[in-house]
């Protein structure tokens, strides 16, 4: 960046000498020098800030990779959970169950509409090498749907239990 600012200075001086009167040359030259010094300071500050950010992220990465850091995060989360009331814990469990059910439903939708797209785009005909994988996917699709439906059923039963517990004891 500093070499670019030097090139800008040289080119601006050549331009000033060829086309402007001496008073205009000095005035514009001063402005260009001022702008180039400001640009240099801005570039230096950007470089120092990026170096600081790089050091910060390296420290953060090293902290996350340490076993103590992960155990600290888990212990902080446990202390946070200890501060919650029964109502708040039940709400948190309900939110997690809803997210889990949504994930299972998306998996079921992908299982159904994946076959639709395979048939619609006739992928088995276009890429016969993938036909074995597609046939295996079709065989396993029933298991995906069954397992995800079972997970949804278990999650709904757990959600009902948590809601009754909240109603009765809170």
Q: What is the pLDDT of residues 20-50, one digit of tens each?
A: 566 666 676 677 777 777 777 877 877 887 8
Asked whether residue 158 is domain-assigned, the answer is: yes
Asked whether residue 76 is domain-assigned, the answer is: no
Does 161 share its domain with 137? Answer: yes
Does 43 share its domain with 89? Answer: no
Asked whether residue 148 is domain-assigned, the answer is: yes
Q: How far apart are CA 130 and CA 114, in angstroms?
A: 14
Does 102 share its domain with 149? Answer: yes
The residue count for the chain = 170
Does 160 share its domain with 100? Answer: yes
Residue 8's pLDDT band (cuts 50, 70, 90): low
Does 46 share its domain with 95? Answer: no
Asked whether residue 21 is domain-assigned, the answer is: yes
Statement: the pTM of the whole predicted model exceeds 0.85: no
Asked whether residue 110 is domain-assigned, the answer is: yes
- 51, 55, 58, 63: CA torsion to nearest 10: -160
Nearest to 36 by CA among 2, 59, 74: 2
**Residue range(s) defining the domain that contains residue 108:** 85-169
H or E element at residue 167: helix 131-169
H or E element at residue 8: helix 2-19
Does 90 share its domain with 60? Answer: no
Structure tokens of 45? 């500050």
Does 67 share its domain with 120? Answer: no
Give the domain-ending residue among 43, 71, 99.
71
Q: How far apart are CA 121 and CA 133, in angstroms?
A: 16
Asked whether residue 127 is domain-assigned, the answer is: yes
| Residue 71, pLDDT score | 75
| Residue 33, pLDDT score | 73
> pLDDT (tens digit, 9 = 90+) per residue, 79-135?
888 888 888 888 889 999 999 999 999 999 988 888 788 878 887 788 788 778 878
Instruction: Say how many domains are in the chain.
Output: 2
Does 92 share its domain with 133? Answer: yes
Does 47 share its domain with 95? Answer: no
Q: How far apart are CA 113 and CA 145, in angstroms?
A: 12
Tell whether the model's pLDDT for residue 1 goes beyond 60: no
Does 110 share its domain with 157? Answer: yes
Most confident range, picked from 4-8, 51-55, 83-87, 155-159: 155-159
Q: Which residue has the higher pLDDT, 3 or 38?
A: 38
Does 92 share its domain with 28? Answer: no
Does 36 share its domain with 105? Answer: no
- Helix axis angle for 22-65 and 67-83, nearest 10°, is 80
């Amino acid at each position: 960046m500093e070499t670019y600012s030097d090139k800008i200075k040289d080119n601006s001086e050549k331009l000033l000498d060829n086309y402007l009167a001496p008073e205009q040359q000095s005035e514009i030259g001063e402005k260009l020098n001022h702008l180039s010094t400001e640009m240099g300071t801005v570039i230096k500050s950007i470089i120092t800030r990026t170096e600081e950010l790089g050091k910060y992220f390296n420290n953060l990465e090293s902290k996350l990779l340490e076993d103590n850091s992960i155990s600290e995060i888990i212990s902080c989360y446990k202390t946070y959970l200890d501060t919650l009331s029964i109502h708040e814990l039940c709400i948190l469990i309900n939110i997690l169950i809803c997210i889990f059910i949504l994930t299972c439903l998306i998996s079921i939708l992908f299982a159904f509409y994946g076959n639709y797209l395979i048939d619609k785009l006739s992928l088995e005909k276009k890429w016969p090498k993938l036909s074995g994988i597609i046939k295996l996917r079709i065989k396993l699709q029933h298991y995906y749907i069954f397992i995800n439906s079972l997970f949804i059923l278990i999650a709904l039963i757990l959600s009902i239990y948590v809601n009754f517990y909240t109603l009765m004891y809170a």
